[in-house]
Amino acid sequence: MSIPTTTPTLTHFDAQGQAHMVDVGAKPATHRIAVATGRIEMQPATLAIIEAGTAKKGDVLGIARIAGIQAAKKTSDLIPLCHPLALTRVAVEFEVAGMQYPGTVGIACTATVETIGQTGVEMEALTAVQIALLTIYDMCKAVDRGMSVHEVRVLEKHGGRSGRFAVAAEN
């Protein structure tokens, strides 16, 4: 993880404190990548339904993957000051994961988003993860209303003036 050497400023506010879209027009287009992750916890029986493919609404992870990809493409429609971007790649992956509370299991989601442009794709990766996990909730809420979404965050980003950022590996 990079440590800032100066006091960071909030770029979405002008000198008068008014919200604005950041002007990226003078920035060079570079290859930019962001990876975000998050997880949804559920009852073991809910996970069994997902893995067996017997959910009444259909292929839960397949539909959640498409929802995440679509969400990444629509991020600027959802987050007011995000730039509309021409994404070159969106990948949404799922993995069954152990959870911190006894009696629960879950699914981890990782989204990788890429572009060649003047601004980063962190928001697109975060949006993809959130919407993919919310889609899982929506598709399974009839059998488990106690599901919960946790730890949505950026794992790493590459490209642009600020360079590389990566969360330190967990032990």
Which residues are designated catalytic? 138
**Phi/psi of residue 97, nearest 5 degrees:** -130, 145
C-alpha 129: how far from its chain's center? 3
Using a 10 angstrom Cβ sphere, with 0-12 exposed, 13-18 middle and 19 or more buried, the burial of residue 88 is middle
Q: Name the DSSP class of 19.
A: B
Residue count (the chain): 171
Say if residues 112 and 128 touch (Cβ distance below 8 Å): no
